[in-house]
Amino acid sequence: MIQRLLRTDVQDILFSPTYYPVLGDFERREVVFVEMSRESYHDSLFLDLSRIRPIRPHHYYYRLDDLLLAAYSDPSPRPGIHYILHTAFCCSTLLARYLEMISSCLVLKEPRILTQLALASDRKSVEWSEWFKLLVMLLGRVFNPSDTVVVKLHDRGNSIGLDLLMHDSRATLTFLTGSLKHSIVSFLKPERRSRWLPIRKRAAAKDGVNIPELEGVKVDELTDAQSAAFIWLTNMLLCSRLRSRFDSSRIIILDGHEVASSPLGTLRAVTQLGGILLREQELEKIVAGPLARRHSKDSSRPYDAEARREEIAAMEAHFCDEAAGGIRWVTDRGFDVEALQNMCQTTQSR
Query: What is the C-alpha to C-alpha distance for residues 13 and 19, in angstroms, rounded to an integer?
Result: 6
Output the 3-class SS for 136-175: HHHHCCCCCCCCEEEEECCHHHHHHHHHHHHHCCCCEEEE
Terminal alpha carbon distance of the chain:
49
What average pLDDT does this structure show over 152-174? 96
Query: What is the C-alpha to C-alpha distance for residues 83 and 326, in angstroms, rounded to an integer?
Result: 30
- Predicted local distance difference test score (pLDDT) of residue 107: 98
Residue 296 has pLDDT above 70, yes or no: yes
177, containing H or E segment: strand 172-177
Confidence of residue 349 (pLDDT cuts 50, 70, 90): very low
Cβ-based neighbours of 202, under 8 Å, separated by 6 or more: 219
What average pLDDT does this structure show over 21-43? 94
- Predicted local distance difference test score (pLDDT) of residue 350: 44
Residue 93 has pLDDT above 90, yes or no: yes
- Predicted local distance difference test score (pLDDT) of residue 70: 86
**Which residue from 350, 331, 336 is spatially nearest to 240, judged by alpha carbons?**
336
Quote the DSSP letter at residue 81: P
What pLDDT, in 10s, does the model give residues 116-160? 999 998 888 999 999 999 999 999 999 998 899 999 999 999 999
Residue 2 has pLDDT above 60, yes or no: no
Give me the percent of the chain exceeding a pLDDT of 90: 81
Model's pTM, two decimal places? 0.95
Give me the percent of the chain exceeding a pLDDT of 70: 95
Residue 348 has pLDDT above 60, yes or no: no
What average pLDDT does this structure show over 16-35? 93
- Predicted local distance difference test score (pLDDT) of residue 7: 57
Quote the DSSP letter at residue 334: T
Residue 78 has pLDDT above 90, yes or no: no
- Predicted local distance difference test score (pLDDT) of residue 75: 64
- Predicted local distance difference test score (pLDDT) of residue 124: 84
- Predicted local distance difference test score (pLDDT) of residue 102: 96
The residues facing 30 across adjacent strands are: 25, 63
Residue 347 has pLDDT above 80, yes or no: no
Residue 282 has pLDDT above 60, yes or no: yes
Residue 244 has pLDDT above 90, yes or no: yes
Residue 76 has pLDDT above 80, yes or no: no
Confidence of residue 73 (pLDDT cuts 50, 70, 90): confident
All domains of the chain in start order, with CATH:
77-104+144-341 (3.40.50)
What pLDDT, in 10s, does the model give residues 59-69? 988 889 989 98
What average pLDDT does this structure show over 247-268? 95
- Predicted local distance difference test score (pLDDT) of residue 6: 54
Residue 89 has pLDDT above 90, yes or no: yes
- Predicted local distance difference test score (pLDDT) of residue 243: 93
Mean pLDDT of the chain: 92
